Amino acid sequence: MFSTFEHIIKEQGFVIIDGALATELEARGADLNHPLWSAKILTEDPAMIKQVNLDYLNAGANVIATASYQASFMGYERQGYSREVAIKLMQLSVELAIEARETFLLSGENKMNQSPLVAASLGPYGAALADGSEYRGYSNVSVDELMAFHRDRLLVMIETNADMLAFETIPCLDEAIAIKKLLQQHSSKKAWVSFSCKDGMHLCSGELFEDAVKALTDSEEIIGIGVNCTAPQYIESLIKIAKPLTSKTILVYPNKGETYNAIDKIWEASANCDPNFIENARTWLRAGANAIGGCCRTTPSDIKQLNTLLLIK
């Protein structure tokens, strides 16, 4: 069942990653104005999550991320969930994605020579704080503390049947280093690490994206380095920074350029909004990206458009 990015890239030129989960859940009536965000829907309407996973597979995604981005022990604990329930919900997110994949494969719609991949989504420390700090970075949190935050959940996710791990929206260098060290200690699954950036050069923390790529490129466990939840206009420059520094898969799955309002938990229009997803994707491929998808506010129809850029159709 497991296949690497390399096989997909060889077969069709690049990997199609899925789009936003939360945006789709909201479009279907889910209320995500809550500290647990999409992880809350795991308890309320798991069938809806499976359907969104399936819709992205039908749109042509080769990789679907699980609904666990905001599922953390710290986050669930703060909302009064027990440790046992938190573990079950994290496992459920993977099971739903795997069920969606089974449904998809049975439908005969899979056009690849291998099955799509399920990536267990792991959000940053800031996502569990639910205060928008994944778009700023954090001060006064040590590498050891960040390792402690990620360790428990990582241990749950590496025991699941997910094909790989996706650390997403990482805002600062220390968190990347914490993840790299943890993966070294618990190396049974490969992972990608994707950063949130505030412009074409810097992580949200203000540190250089270049330094983040350099810090991760010698990791055996990390198979991809990426940028997500970043405005589309900065992506090309970030790819060009990463490309000469690493031979790993370069993943980009930006948002639509809106600005996140962490108080009201809504996305607000900004000058960075860019509707030309497919034109941008073409530019990103030329710049050296190997995997493209979407983050907040992107939809299955955006992902479907990516199929027109594949080597084989």
- Minimum Å gap between C-beta 209 and Zn ion is 17
- Minimum Å gap between C-beta 253 and Zn ion is 8
- Minimum Å gap between C-beta 197 and Zn ion is 12
- Minimum Å gap between C-beta 254 and Zn ion is 8
Measured from the CB atom, the residue of 60 and 123 that comes closer to Zn ion is 123
State yes or no: residue 229 binds Zn ion (CB under 5 A): yes
Retrieve residue 47's tokens.
């069938």
Measured from the CB atom, the residue of 98 and 122 that comes closer to Zn ion is 122
Which region, judged by CB under 5 A, interacts with Zn ion, from 66-74, 144-152, 204-212, 228-236?
228-236
- Minimum Å gap between C-beta 77 and Zn ion is 24
CB 39 within 8 A of CB 89: yes
- Minimum Å gap between C-beta 257 and Zn ion is 11
Bridge partners for 117 per DSSP: 63
DSSP assignment of the chain equals ----HHHHHHHHSSEEB---SHHHHHHTT----STTTHHHHHHH-HHHHHHHHHHHHHTT-SEEE-TTTT--HHHHHHTT--HHHHHHHHHHHHHHHHHHHHHHHHTT---SSSPPEEEEEE--HHHHHTSSGGGT--SS--HHHHHHHHHHHHHHHHTSS-SEEEEEEE-SHHHHHHHHHHHHHS-SS-EEEEE-BSSSSBBTTSSBHHHHHHHHTT-SSEEEEEEESS-GGGHHHHHHHHGGG--SEEEEE---S-EEETTTTEEE--TT----HHHHHHHHHHHT-SEE---TT--HHHHHHHGGGSS--
Query: x/- site string to Zn ion, residues 174 to 213, per CB under 5 A?
Result: ----------------------------------------
Which region, judged by CB under 5 A, interacts with Zn ion, from 61-69, 252-260, 271-279, 282-290?
252-260
Chain positions 293 to 312 lying near Zn ion, rule: CB under 5 A, are 295-296
Task: Look up tokens 């997403």; give the residue.
Answer: 168
How many angstroms separate the CA atoms of 135 and 266, rounded?
14
Task: Look up tokens 């690493």; give the residue.
Answer: 246
- Minimum Å gap between C-beta 82 and Zn ion is 29
Measured from the CB atom, the residue of 219 and 280 that comes closer to Zn ion is 280
Other Cβ atoms less than 10 A from the Cβ of 291: the count is 23
Which region, judged by CB under 5 A, interacts with Zn ion, from 123-131, 155-163, 237-245, 291-299?
291-299
Which region, judged by CB under 5 A, interacts with Zn ion, from 84-92, 156-164, 177-185, 247-255?
247-255
Measured from the CB atom, the residue of 21 and 164 that comes closer to Zn ion is 21
Task: Look up tokens 């778009």; give the residue.
Answer: 135
Which region, judged by CB under 5 A, interacts with Zn ion, from 9-17, 91-99, 224-232, 305-313?
224-232
Measured from the CB atom, the residue of 15 and 127 that comes closer to Zn ion is 127
State yes or no: residue 170 binds Zn ion (CB under 5 A): no
- Minimum Å gap between C-beta 168 and Zn ion is 8
State yes or no: residue 238 binds Zn ion (CB under 5 A): no
Measured from the CB atom, the residue of 92 and 204 that comes closer to Zn ion is 204
Q: How many residues bind Zn ion (CB under 5 A)?
A: 4
**Interface positions with Zn ion (CB under 5 A):** 229, 255, 295-296
